[in-house]
A = this chain, B = another copy of it.
Amino acid sequence: MFQTEHTPRSERVALHRVRIRDDFWSYYIGLVKDVVVPYQWEALNDRVETAEPSGAVRNFRIAAGLEQGDFYGLVFQDSDLAKWLEAVAYLLEADANPQLEEIADGLIDVIALAQGEDGYLNTYFTLKEPDKRWTNLTECHELYCAGHMIEAGVAYYRATGKRKLLDVVSQLADYIDGVFGTKPDQLPGYDGHQEIELALVKLYEATGEERYLRLSRYFLDQRGQQPNFFQEELRRRGGKSHWPGNGDRIDLAYHQAHLPVREQETAVGHAVRLMYMLAGMADVAALTGDGAMLEACRKLWDNIAGKQMYITGGVGSMPQGEAFSFDYDLPNDTVYAETCASIGLIFFAQRMLRISPESKYADVMERALYNTVVGGMARDGKHFFYVNPLEVDPKACGGANHKFDHIKPVRQEWFGCACCPPNVARLLASLGEYIYTVQDDTVYAHLYIGGEAELNVGGRAVKLVQTTEYPWDGTVRMEVQPEEDGRFTLALRLPEWCPKAALTVAGEAVAVEDEGRIQDGYIRLERQWRPGDVVELKLAMPVTRMHSHPLVRANAGKVALQRGPLVYCLEQADNGEHLHELVLPQASELSAEREDGPLGRIVTVRAKAVRVSERGWSGGLYSPSAQPSEQPAALKFIPYYAWANRGEGEMTVWVRER
């Protein structure tokens, strides 16, 4: 079925082969293991009193015949459970945990009982609308839920070697493969929320069954074709909507179903859906050698990263539809920037890196990871942001101006639609997948995270031991341990934020600027490596003034600070209220300081600035003569990810400059 010449693609690195030991990340991964996953298990079981009930476990128990009751929650409630299970699988893949595995095994037994004879698996439709299967793909997330369960099944199989859930999801996928397609007795449809596309690729890789890859490509190929499936489906169900208020109009662009996927050039619609779709497209393009699909991935990447992404790696400029808006439209206050969308962006970046290791993908991956994703979770592991604004005034939230109704000035405990917390958990639990890729005899280091990796580099076992205080310090030490002496290449990413790098290999200086040394943003070290060779990379990490492209209206005349991968922000807790009054002169010195406090051991940035304030203002609301007064102000910036951990207050990333 597929073209013979296809793009080479790096293999996934198993998590037990990449052990993270890192001051920064070990905390978060420990949090996922010790707090997030146990806490979410309680939440999924409706045992967290202060949070909205989930119903997710109970729905499966009811569908399995183990309990009486009604379905509770949103139509896609199953996916919360699947994402949690996937996170658990990643934890187990890294480290044995018999107690957790027992819980998971028990849950998988319930899931298996909840599956229909024909392979169908979805508690909403099974319990609530059994005769309405596949009648509202547009709105009801049936294939989306299936996709998440497939991801969980694959991850659990990889982690434990246990096939039970893999068999369940294979049966489910086989059943779906029969239902969907372009044959006369099939439904020529696809899901309103993309997800199954990337999941089927994983299932293909885990099972070797090519039909799953073919089914994934079918879903992508069919999307946006005419006559439009969603419109036909709407007609068939008489214009009725699952969601009150959706009405009888379908916004095809919201679902990225306005055009065939290969013809899409601009990011539109629901951000998470697009990200998941693009991850799936990159997978399918690589595995089938589909140049046109890969080209669409590249174009959409460039549009997103070049015109529609926040400096924090957030995507989705508007709450309506949780969606992209248009090029250079990046409002900081009414932004959406869902945590899940940045996670999806990381998925997409990782796929692109596996196809073509160019640092632009890793730069964005790092930006999203160190800012929006880690900022999406509180340091207690129990509170989460769904929306990640870059400018907040709590006075404006909570109904004061309804355009901010979606903005929460502090992280919330759990959500009625709880997609983000388990998504953060599964990403952090699988962070080891994102650090390295290997292509032929080159090993690429994309992220600087301490720990040990055992890699297969062109058939040769190579152990890498990375030590770093990143993101606080730009020094990275890497010990290279091939099983024996051998020639291969170590390619180290030179981050876009780094103005100057110095390098020693086995104690000898290597000129980074040598002809051909840097390719696609990676410093290539091709040599005969000996066990114990040490590479020391010193990435200069100054505090940097960042400016936006001048067409970004929201940031005109403003500056943001960045140091290493971390974007900084001002908070009221450090700088008082009315942050819009602060102006940072171009000449101000920016000094970074290591600080230990309630936000952990972080680097803060201090600068002298000016407050243009209402103090002594003699005019009314508008004045021809009154001038605001100016006072000196000592600013303190903290990393963006750490905001809102000290109660409600104003926050801003972009600051007026002069």
Contact = CB atoms under 8 A, between A and B. Distances in A.
Interface of A: 245, 305-307, 309, 311, 317-321, 325-326, 329, 331, 334, 393, 395-396, 400-403, 497, 499, 544-553, 556-557, 560, 562, 578, 580-581, 583, 612-614, 617, 619-628, 656, 658
Contacts of A305: 620-621
Given A402-B318, A553-B580, A548 B621 contact: yes
B550 A612 contact: yes
Closest 5 CB pairs of A and B: A320-B402, A325-B401, A550-B614, A544-B624, A550-B628
B622 A546 contact: yes
Given A403-B318, A403-B320, A556-B656, A549 B612 contact: no
Given A309-B621, A619-B549, A621-B552, A401 B614 contact: no
A552 B628 CA distance: 12
A497 B624 contact: yes
Given A329-B396, A553-B393, A547 B627 contact: yes
A550 B580 CA distance: 9
B578 A400 contact: no
B557 A656 contact: yes
A628 B547 contact: yes
A226 to B, nearest CB: 21
Contacts of A400: 325-326, 329
Most interface-central of A307, A319, A557, A658 (chain B CB within 10 A): A557
A326 B395 contact: yes
A638 B627 CA distance: 25
Contacts of A497: 624
Contacts of A396: 325-326, 329
Most interface-central of A306, A321, A393, A622 (chain B CB within 10 A): A622
A617 B552 CA distance: 13
Contact of A307 (B552, B581, B613, B621): B621
A619 B499 CA distance: 14
Nearest to A399: B251
Contacts of A334: 334, 403
Given A320-B402, A325-B402, A547-B619, 7 more contacts: A309-B621, A321-B402, A393-B553, A547-B626, A549-B620, A550-B614, A562-B624
Contacts of A317: 401
Nearest to A305: B621
Contact of A329 (B245, B401, B656): B401
Contacts of A545: 624
A628 B552 CA distance: 12
A617 B562 contact: no
A227 to B, nearest CB: 23
Given A400-B326, A403-B334, A578 B562 contact: no
A204 B545 CA distance: 67
A395 B307 CA distance: 15
Nearest to A557: B656
A460 to B, nearest CB: 37
A321 to B, nearest CB: 7
Nearest to A556: B580
16 contacts: A245-B245, A305-B620, A309-B621, A317-B401, A325-B396, A325-B402, A329-B396, A497-B624, A545-B624, A546-B623, A547-B623, A549-B617, A550-B612, A557-B583, A557-B612, A560-B622
Given A395-B326, A402-B320, A547-B626, A556 B307 contact: no
Contacts of A402: 318, 320-321, 325
A290 B479 CA distance: 86
A338 to B, nearest CB: 16
Most interface-central of A307, A326, A617, A624 (chain B CB within 10 A): A624
Most interface-central of A613, A619, A620 (chain B CB within 10 A): A620
Nearest to A547: B623
A544 B626 CA distance: 12
A634 to B, nearest CB: 19
Contacts of A624: 497, 499, 544-546, 562
A578 B627 CA distance: 27
A556 B556 CA distance: 12
Contacts of A619: 547, 549
A267 B100 CA distance: 56
Nearest to A542: B624
Contacts of A307: 621
Contacts of A560: 622
A626 B559 CA distance: 12
A306 B557 CA distance: 27
A534 to B, nearest CB: 30
B401 A326 contact: yes
